[in-house]
Chain A
């Protein structure tokens, strides 16, 4: 029998528990003797921590302990306080800027942990927070990357500078190309501070089994194996003594599941008091403690021929890193300069990216890190170039899109990490054409700039590529259960994207069994496969799915071997038919082989590049600054869609996140580094009534040559081009005013201000 579960819109198996309230998220766990942790966080952005007096808190009934830096005496760290190491780009230059798990000499952002209260309930713990006396000698706060660059107040005296690093993205000889260029344009642009807000706040529950020397940590997500390595070193246990358990995870988006200070503090607390301890973040904490992202300023210059052919791009990007270099904090700041050119052919490329430490929540990755920012910069530049050179903006893009025959196309290399990258496959013109056709661009574009019923109509178009499938490896294990069904164990993690269904589809196809025979798909916990990597960089299908194929091949080889012996036939004659193993006319039930298990892996260093085009038709009320979307079309080629239903979910879901970043979301601070957006009434997310008119079309015309499935990561294409597309549409709508949006988000007040400024020029 030949299966076709891959490619079918199979309804998700996860849904059966989620829809009935039967999911188990970390806060749903309860164990006997549990204590609740509540964290005292700095209310000061920058200062010297002089003293922490918890004696008042300890007098409260129900308070068991208060943990501060004084309780940490690890011999592996000079201060005794463990440091959270960088997981990606762990350069020696970054080491002075890594975050201690709890503040001990200085506080560097509002929200930095100072003390952990362990209490009989969260409410008692919160009461106790008010009784902890903290003395902080305030220092001048650094609240912007511009202020950081003056180095008048430095966060880390040991280095004497607020610049932790400069990445250099290079290709060809940009300076020489600029000397010869007949046309150049230079622009300063900025993107706001966003974050991968998950609807489920973070949480950790730790249980210390002193008898068996075993630490169990629930609430793991994204990269449990990497986090276990970090925790083992910090807490002084062998990795084998720690089990990380992934429960249902209420959203990831790059932010959840990185190793945060709390990922040490809660296990430490459990060992400290020898009781199970649970910590669940509240939303205010989440806004000021989870990784921020995106806040960049760019000063970029583009050089073109008179016919619009791009010759070179050069300039600088400044990223506001917040107070510490966190586990993956450098990714966005490296990606923005390296991938700013998107799907376009740019022979000469020289962009420096400066990483500025500021007294704000530290940054990490958020879906499409650096790519959302870079795409916004590039797409804005292209529309300005088109106007300057009097070339149709679609035609300008056509002339510069990387051609079908040019793959693999080499992108800029980023130093000092020597990060090379190249595209894999695709027809970028085809997705542009398809998008324009679905959008009815030929007719709709005529509305651009027109004032109809008090609103200006604007059309924007942006093209993108989305990097996916990060290596180096992923693991999968298949096992026969006692009842003859099969379980799949994965080294990847779930962040809600539907991997249980998708891996079941792939495994069923690979084994040629009905999908119901795949009873469970387990993922994300450290006890189930020998080595795992996780869920990031749109890699779960590309890497994890390919590992399933390898595991299935090994599984069938073992089954043939075992069954050949039992049935007395040649291995090649052994077949698996639903739940029976046959050979030479005899069959045995598969359950006779219960316990048979095979682990497979997929190793790969090449990235996948899904690609496509966004087109937006918006209206702008110039008096109110309000933007409405009339129609929005995304066309994305994903190489191979395992489950079209969930691919569409990824595209539309990430698009709406991108639209949030384009017009709503911005994490704000004042000049003293005080955090101004500490609730969901201040940090605005898209709601069901904001963007009702969105359409997406997923194509599979160009499978990726990098993996046996031909799949390309598809979780981020919706977000990458949203900022550029919306900003181009606003410029198009307000062309009669000469408005050129250079900053995101385009909130009503920002759009109104653009109109006022244009009128006053």
Chain B
């Protein structure tokens, strides 16, 4: 069936099987390979994208459910050649090693900080506990997210 939705600010129209996940649609049909698939059962969070501004596991959502929605993937967070403040903070704190979980961490943390720019360390840990990382041990990721809060506070009118 044909679905239409917005991805990273652009309207797309895709012909999909009803059983296709949003993750596979983004990766294989739209070639947005920044969204990673790590478990396909909703535990690891690597496939997290923003659907109408909310962090969603794209492996647990069918592409057809995205019809009419606004989807933002990790590629859509930094449009130009630079890094966003959150990405800059990840780099500064060495909050990534192999980079596979990173897109999910970035999208999840972006959704959190957009809603709650004043969140504390416990809240960051609670929200990020749905995203598995096998390299970093999480300490540096939490530091990076906390350090990026200032940028989101400024952004809120």
**A residues apposed to B, CB below 8 Å:** 11-12, 14-25, 27-28, 30, 123, 197-201, 248-253, 282-283, 495-498, 645-646, 648-649, 652-657, 679-681, 685-692, 694, 718
Contacts and interface: CB of A to CB of B under 8 A. Distances in A.
A679 B42 CA distance: 10
Contacts of B91: 11-12, 15-16, 19
A689 B129 contact: yes
Nearest to A679: B41
B130 to A, nearest CB: 8
A220 to B, nearest CB: 15
Contact of B125 (A123, A197, A497, A689): A689
A249 to B, nearest CB: 6
Contacts of A15: 90-91, 96, 99
Contact of A12 (B20, B44, B94, B137): B94
Interface stretch (B50-58, B63-71, B101-109, B149-157): B101-109
Contacts of A657: 134, 137
Interface residues of B, number: 58
Interface in B1-59: 17, 19-20, 27-28, 31-41, 43-44, 46
A23 B27 CA distance: 13
A685 B132 contact: yes
Contacts of B142: 688, 692
A679 B43 contact: yes
A688 B128 contact: yes
A686 B96 CA distance: 16
A650 B136 CA distance: 7
B102 to A, nearest CB: 5
Nearest to A201: B38
B96 A688 contact: no
B84 to A, nearest CB: 8
A652 B137 contact: yes
A649 B94 contact: yes
Nearest to A19: B87
Contacts of B36: 25, 199-200, 250
5 contacts: A15-B99, A30-B31, A498-B97, A652-B139, A692-B138
Contact of A21 (B73, B128, B130, B139): B73
A691 B35 contact: no
Interface in B91-130: 91-92, 94, 96-103, 106, 121, 124-126, 128-130
B87 to A, nearest CB: 4
Determine the main DSSP class of A at the interface with B. loop
B94 A680 contact: no
A11 B92 contact: yes
A19 B90 contact: yes
Contact of A653 (B32, B73, B97, B102): B97
Contacts of A496: 97-100, 135
A11 B89 CA distance: 11
A16 B37 contact: no
Contacts of A718: 137
Contacts of A25: 33, 36, 100
B132 A250 contact: no
A19 B97 contact: no
B98 A200 contact: yes
Nearest to A15: B91
A418 B83 CA distance: 53
B40 A282 contact: yes
A19 B83 contact: yes
B135 A649 contact: yes
Contacts of B135: 199, 251, 496, 649, 653
Given A652-B140, A680-B43, A694-B139, A199 B100 contact: yes
Contact of A692 (B34, B35, B96, B125): B125
Contact of B17 (A16, A18, A123, A681): A123
Contact of A688 (B33, B77, B100, B125): B125
Contacts of A645: 94
Nearest to A687: B129
A688 B98 CA distance: 17
A199 B78 contact: no
Contacts of A11: 91-92, 94
Given A200-B38, A688-B131, 12 more contacts: A20-B87, A21-B33, A30-B31, A200-B98, A248-B99, A496-B99, A645-B94, A649-B94, A653-B137, A687-B132, A688-B124, A692-B138
A283 B41 contact: yes
A22 B129 contact: no
Query: Chain A CB within 10 Å — which of B34, B100, B121 has the most?
Result: B100
B98 A199 contact: yes
Nearest to B100: A250
Contacts of B103: 21
A199 B101 contact: yes
